[in-house]
Amino acid sequence: MENEVLFLALATVFGLFAAWGIGANDVANAMSTSIGSRALTIKQALLIAGVFEFAGAVLAGGEVTATIRKGIVDSTYFVGQPEILIIGMLASLLATGSWLLIASRKGWPVSTTHSIVGAIIGFTVVAVGFESVKWGKVAVIAASWVASPVFSGIVAFLIFNSIAWLILTREDPLERARRYAPIYIFITVFLISLVTMLKGLKHIQIGQQLESAECYAIATACGVVVAVIGKFFIMRIKVDEKADKEFHFHTVERVFAVLMVVTACSMAFAHGSNDVANAIGPVAAVISIVGTRSVTQAAPIPIWVLALGGIGIVIGLGTYGRKVIAMVGSRITPLTPSRGFAAGVAASFTIVFASGTGMPVSTTHALVGAVLGVGMARGFSAIDLRVVGRIFLSWIVTIPAGAILSIIFFLILRAALT
Amino acid sequence: MSNYISKIFGTSPVAPLQKHMTVCCAATAELTRFFEHAAAGDWAAVDESRGQIVNWEQKADDLKHEIRGNIPKNLLMPVPRADLLDLLLVQDLMANKAREISGLVVGRRIEIPQPIQESFIAYVTRNADAAEKALECVNELDELYETGFRGAEVSVVEKLVHVLGTIEDETDDMQSNIRNGLFDIEKDLPPVDVMFLYRVIELIGEIGDLAERIGHRLELLLSH
């Protein structure tokens, strides 16, 4: 194969570009519940996003990366012409990166996931034909796009109702908040680390040696450690007599603000585990084809590729995403920590679970579903259903947009490189 | 550059509703001073007090329009939109009533006869108290939203509404006492003035009724 080094270099650059786009545009959505509820300052949010996006990408991003890399295209159609598949993957990255850039500038709600899937389908259809797309798998992915916000909404509904029932509606909500908050922290950390270890870690070395009993033990340990740290901070919160009325709800919300820190970490982790794959899947495909000189063999994903995605997201966050986050922070939202916690945790469960099963889902959609779930539980004073509708409809535009851009880039790159 | 999650949330109607109610209460509270001046026959002070009431009423009107504009149809809310708008309407009626009363008194220079002055002022004050209690109920709205309209906070509001009901009963008793007092002396007064005085007494009583209706609106919100 000619142009090997060129292909690898282009894959790295385009992959970074797409990851940058995700960091610039998408992370703000993932972090918005924490910043909107004033639980975190913008600096703290950026730090948490940087660390946990990276961790999520490296520790739990493997399964979705595999789906993007080889789940959508039937590679047997490319056996005689591996460079066409490489060019197609490069075009998809470019399409996703540019679409994110355009959409961010215009302020459109877009989903990275939908645009990369649209892009890969687009170039495949042009390069080979309709038969080379694994439509069965695409249908499953599309179904997960419907299922993830619904699932997330149901979980958020249940979590918020449990908070209301255990804490908010009682005579002594503050004591109850202090008692139950560490338990919520434990459950959050336990479930996310468990799913990560059982499903995500098998793509990196250490994960392959873990027995499932060990996974449960480690997840429990993680949960207990974080819950104890959380308990320490919760006990330090003093009652603010001035701001409080009979039930001390002001102070109760400050207890939930501690939980929001955990939520912010898990949201960033979840987002990293699912969305980094959008940028990294095609890169992994290119590297695998160049390395094995075969389109059908599946080489394991090198960790540095996942790390590349993590770095790209952090750069995007630092250069452009911080402005979006600052804007979110400056807007007053009725998102109090108790609501933000219910919505954020439900969304991150959903996304980490989807990551574990290899489903590329949209973080924004999961979060919107969760917000609606809390709304159904009478948690928000007002949710604008027109905006919700616009967000859910936007993917109808995003899929063909990703496909068309990818086809254009594919034709240009093919003419230039072959 | 935009973030869609934060755009999902509509403007919360809670704080604006409370502000509106505070303004309406300022109008009814001013009525006590207004009638004190009227009883003393200090018409310059009465006119000034009337100006205050008109100001409060106009401010309440502006707030009402603003709130209506911020509760569009397509909103998912824990309580029905119609009930919130109803609550707003009743609050606003209270300010309107204060303006109507003051307008009537100023326009006809209605004097409060000496024998009933004391009980009359007490009657006005008690009706303003009812409005104040209704404000207290409305101020619990943010706590109600916090708990999703459930649990212990609900009984706090129910207690407040109960107290409000007791105050309103008192104003009803006071009203019939004043009417009796006026009936005893009405032969010695100009008949047209007496007719309007009865009308003013009636209107003042309506403030207490409206305050109680605000309490009932809140109870309606709780029952969903």
For B9, the token pair is: 């949330």
pLDDT in tens, A127-139: 999 999 999 999 9
Please, where are the H alpha helices in A2-71? 4-25, 27-36, 42-60, 62-70
**Pairing between β-strand A383-384 and β-strand B75-76 as defined by DSSP bridges:** antiparallel
| Contacts with A388 from chain B: Cβ below 8 Å | 8
| Beta pairing partners, B76 | A383
What is the distance in angstroms between the CA of the first residue and the CA of the last residue of chain A?
11
Q: What is the DSSP string of A228-239?
A: HHHHHHHHHPPP
d(CA A62, CA A306): 8
Nearest to A162 by CA among A338, A302, A307, A25: A338
Residue with the two structure tokens 């385009």: A14
d(CA A210, CA A215): 7
Residue with the two structure tokens 């998912």: B76
Residue with the two structure tokens 């949330």: B9
d(CA A90, CA A87): 5
For A316, the token pair is: 């995007």
Q: Contact A200/A355 with Cβ under 8 angstroms?
A: yes
Say what the pLDDT of residue A331 is: 65
- The closest CB to that of B148, out of A377, A385, A388, belongs to A377
Say what the pLDDT of residue A277 is: 86
| pLDDT above 60 for A207 | no
d(CA A306, CA A277): 8
Say what the pLDDT of residue B43 is: 94
For A211, other C-beta atoms within 10 Å of its C-beta total 8
Which residue, among A42, A381, A383, would best test binding to B if mutated, counting the most B CBs under 10 Å from its CB?
A381
Residues 6+ apart with CB under 8 A from A389: none
B156 and chain A: CB distance < 8 Å anywhere?
yes
How far does the CA of residue B119 sit from the closest CA of chain A (Å)?
35
Nearest to A360 by CA among A130, A6, A72: A72
Instruction: Going residue by residue through chain B, which has 224 residues, state the pLDDT in tens, using 9 for 90 and above.
Output: 346 677 788 888 889 999 999 999 999 999 999 999 999 999 999 999 999 999 999 999 999 999 998 888 888 898 889 999 999 999 999 999 999 999 999 999 998 999 999 999 999 999 999 999 999 999 999 889 888 888 888 888 999 999 999 999 999 999 999 999 999 999 999 999 999 999 999 999 999 999 999 999 998 888 76
**Contact state of B76 with A105 under an 8 Å Cβ cutoff:** no
Say what the pLDDT of residue B146 is: 87
Tally of CA atoms within 13 A in the half-sphere of A377 that contains its CB: 26
A168 and chain B: CB distance < 8 Å anywhere?
yes
What is the distance in angstroms between the CA of the first residue and the CA of the last residue of chain B?
39
Nearest to A277 by CA among A169, A351, A182: A351
B3 and chain A: CB distance < 8 Å anywhere?
yes
Compute CA B217 distance to the chain's CA centroid, rounded to the nearest angstrom. Answer: 13
| Contacts with A381 from chain B: Cβ below 8 Å | 10, 12-14, 77-78, 145
d(CA A217, CA A221): 6
Helix (H, G, I), strand (E, B) or coil at B76: strand
In degrees, to the nearest 5, what angle opens at C-alpha B45 toward C-alphas B19 and B184?
A: 100
Average pLDDT over residues A292-314: 81
pTM value surpassing 0.80:
yes
Tell me the pLDDT band of A392, cut-offs 50, 70 and 90.
confident
Helix (H, G, I), strand (E, B) or coil at A23: helix
Domains of chain B: 12-222 (1.20.58.220)
Say what the pLDDT of residue B1 is: 38
d(CA B134, CA B141): 11
| pLDDT above 50 for A350 | yes
Q: Contact A313/A53 with Cβ under 8 angstroms?
A: yes
DSSP state of A209: G
A264 and chain B: CB distance < 8 Å anywhere?
no
- Interface pTM (ipTM) of the complex? 0.84
Q: Contact B37/B53 with Cβ under 8 angstroms?
A: no
Compute CA A149 distance to the chain's CA centroid, rounded to the nearest angstrom. Answer: 13
| pLDDT above 90 for A214 | no
Distances (CA, A) of A326 to A29, A53, A316, A331, B10: 12, 18, 14, 9, 20
d(CA A36, CA A196): 27
Residues 6+ apart with CB under 8 A from A150: A369
**Contact state of A169 with B153 under an 8 Å Cβ cutoff:** yes
How far does the CA of residue B196 sit from the closest CA of chain A (Å)?
44
| Contacts with A164 from chain B: Cβ below 8 Å | 147-148, 150-151
pLDDT in tens, A11-68: 999 999 999 988 887 787 778 777 777 778 878 888 888 899 889 988 888 888 889 9
